[in-house]
Amino acid sequence: MTATTTTQSERLVDLDDLTPLLKTTTSSDSARVYERLRARWGNVAPVLLEPGVPAWLVLGHRELVTVLRNEGLYARDSRNWNLLQDGTVSPGSGVGGVLAPRDGIYYVDGVRHRHLRRLVDDAFESVDEHRLASITERWCRLALDRVLAKGSADLVNEYARAVPLLVLSTMFGLEPEQARAMLGHARQVFRARGAAGGEALNAQRALIADLIASRRAEPSDDLTSAILRHPSAPTDLDAQSAVSATLILGSEFEVAWITQALRLRLRLTDPRFDGRSGGRLSAPDTLEAVLGSAPPAPNAAPRFALADTTLGGRAIRAGDAVVPGILGASAESRAAGDDIWLEPGNLSYLTWGAGPHACPARRPATVIAQIAVEEALRRLGGVTLTVPPEALSATGTLWSSVPRELPVRFEEQRPAR
C-alpha cells in the first residue's frame, strides 16, 4: 500500500475513512495498527479522537521531536484548537472535557508554564531519594504480604495500582482514602467518556483544593508543603495546578509502567526477560525496554498548531490538533535508524518527552517503578499465569494502555528481607 498524499488545499476535517486513535492503545496488535497508518499516510496520519473529531497523529521520530521542541508553533493550550473554537467539540463532551482549557502545568505555555514548571521541578529536586526508596519498599511489602497470603492475585489491581497510589499519597500528604479517590477520578478523566470526565475533573479540583488549604494552615514534610514554600510565593491556584498534574498523571502512567514490566517478566515469551532461567535483563533493564516497546503513554497529549505549516509532507492548518505518537515514532526509529536526534541503542527516552513539556518526574518515577518490580520479583517465586498469555487484554484510553489484569498464582513464597 502506498502512502496517500494530501494537498495544500485539503483540510484535516475533509479527510474521511479515518482510524480511531483508541485502536492504537486497545488493539491486541498495536504495531500492526501503526504499520497500516504509516503505509497509508506516511509519518503524519489523520485519526479520530472520537467520532467527528479528527487530529493528526505523528508517527515519525524526526516529526515528533519537531512538535515537542517547538512551542512557538505547536502549543499545548487548547484555546488554540479550531474544533473547540468553532463548537465542533463541546467542553462537556468526552474528549472535550479532557482537553478543555484549564490552568495547569500540562495545559498552558509560555511564562505561565515556566512558572508552574519551576514549582514542580524545585519540589522534586528536594525529594530525598533514600526516603522515597524506603517509603516505596514499605508499601510494596505490605501489598505483597496481602496477595501472598491468598496464594493468587491480580497483579494489576492488587499490586501495580496499589503501590504508586500509596507512595504518591505519602509523598503529597494525602490520606490513602483521598489518594484512592484521586486515582478513581483520574481514570474517569483519562477515559474521556461523556459528562463523567468533567465531573471527575471537578471532584479532583475539590480534593486538591482541600489539600492545599490544609497545608497552608498546617505545613508538613511533603511535596505539597514544599510547593507552597517555594520562594516565588505561589498562590493557591498555582499550587493546585502544580499538584494536580503531577499527582494525577504520575499515578496513572506509573501503574502502566509497572504493569507492563511485570507482564513481560511473567509471560516469558522473550528469554531476555525470564529472570528465573538465567535471563540477561535485570529489573532496570526490563523497565527500560518497556519504555521503548510498550510505553505507558503510547500517545502524548495533543499540541495545537499556531500557524499553517507542513509536517512530514502533510498540510497542517492553524488550529489543527497534533498528537505526538510516542510508540509509533519509536517503532519508526527502529526501522529507519538514520535520525540525527536518535540516541543509539536507546529509544526509551521518547517516553519522557522533550522540550518545555518534558516529564518533570523522571527520576522519582524510575525509583518507584524499579523498586516495585524488584520487590515483586524477589518475593514472588514460581509465579504462573492462570490464563493463556494471548487472553490478556488491554484497557486503553486515547493516551495510555494497561493490561486489564495479570491473574497469577504463587507456587512459592519468599520472605521479605
Q: What is the mean pLDDT of residues 157-176?
A: 86
- pLDDT at residue 341 in the model: 40
Choose the weakest-confidence range: 46-55, 179-188, 226-235: 179-188
Choose the weakest-confidence range: 22-26, 191-195, 360-364: 191-195
Ramachandran sector of residue 174 (left: φ over 0; alpha: ψ -120 to 50; beta: rest): beta
Q: In whole angstroms, give the CA distance from residue 283 to residue 220.
A: 33
- pLDDT at residue 198 in the model: 66
Phi, psi of 45 (to 5 degrees): -120, 140
- pLDDT at residue 280 in the model: 55
Q: What is the mean pLDDT of residues 119-127?
A: 89
**Where is pLDDT greater, at 310 or 293?**
310
Q: What is the mean pLDDT of residues 245-264?
A: 80
- pLDDT at residue 278 in the model: 45
Sorting pLDDT into bands at 50, 70 and 90, what band is 411?
confident
Q: What is the mean pLDDT of residues 224-228?
A: 93
Choose the weakest-confidence range: 83-92, 112-121, 271-280, 329-338: 271-280
**Where is pLDDT greater, at 202 or 24?**
24
Choose the weakest-confidence range: 1-5, 119-123, 202-206: 1-5
Give the rounded percent of residues in the chain with a pLDDT score beyond 70.
84
Choose the weakest-confidence range: 133-142, 203-212, 341-350, 369-378: 341-350
**Where is pLDDT greater, at 98 or 5?**
98
Assess whether pLDDT exceeds 70 at residue 387. yes
Sorting pLDDT into bands at 50, 70 and 90, what band is 348?
low
The mean of the pLDDT values for the chain is: 83
Assess whether pLDDT exceeds 90 at residue 375. yes
Choose the weakest-confidence range: 58-67, 108-117, 152-161, 172-181: 172-181
Q: What is the mean pLDDT of residues 116-120?
A: 91
- pLDDT at residue 11 in the model: 84
**H/E segment holding residue 63:** helix 61-69
Q: What is the mean pLDDT of residues 60-75?
A: 93
- pLDDT at residue 193 in the model: 58
- pLDDT at residue 276 in the model: 45
Sorting pLDDT into bands at 50, 70 and 90, what band is 76?
very high
C-alpha pair distances (Å), 129 with each of 121, 172, 365, 367? 15, 15, 11, 8
pTM of the model: 0.85
- pLDDT at residue 272 in the model: 47
Please name which of 307, 314, 311 lies closest in space to residue 6, comparing C-alpha atoms.
Answer: 314
Choose the weakest-confidence range: 65-79, 86-100, 258-272, 349-363: 258-272
Within 126-161, residue ranges assigned H as helices are 129-150
Three-class DSSP category at 96: helix
**Where is pLDDT greater, at 293 or 222?**
222
Pull the grid cell for residue 91.
Answer: 467542553
Within 173-325, residue ranges assigned H as helices are 176-191, 195-217, 223-228, 236-267, 283-293
Assess whether pLDDT exceeds 70 at residue 197. no
Which range among 9-18, 27-36, 126-135, 187-196 has the greatest average pLDDT? 126-135
Q: In whole angstroms, give the CA distance from residue 404 to residue 218.
A: 40
CB 56 within 8 A of CB 319: no
Q: Which domains does the chain carry?
A: 12-413 (1.10.630.10)
Q: What is the mean pLDDT of residues 269-292?
A: 65
**Where is pLDDT greater, at 247 or 75?**
75
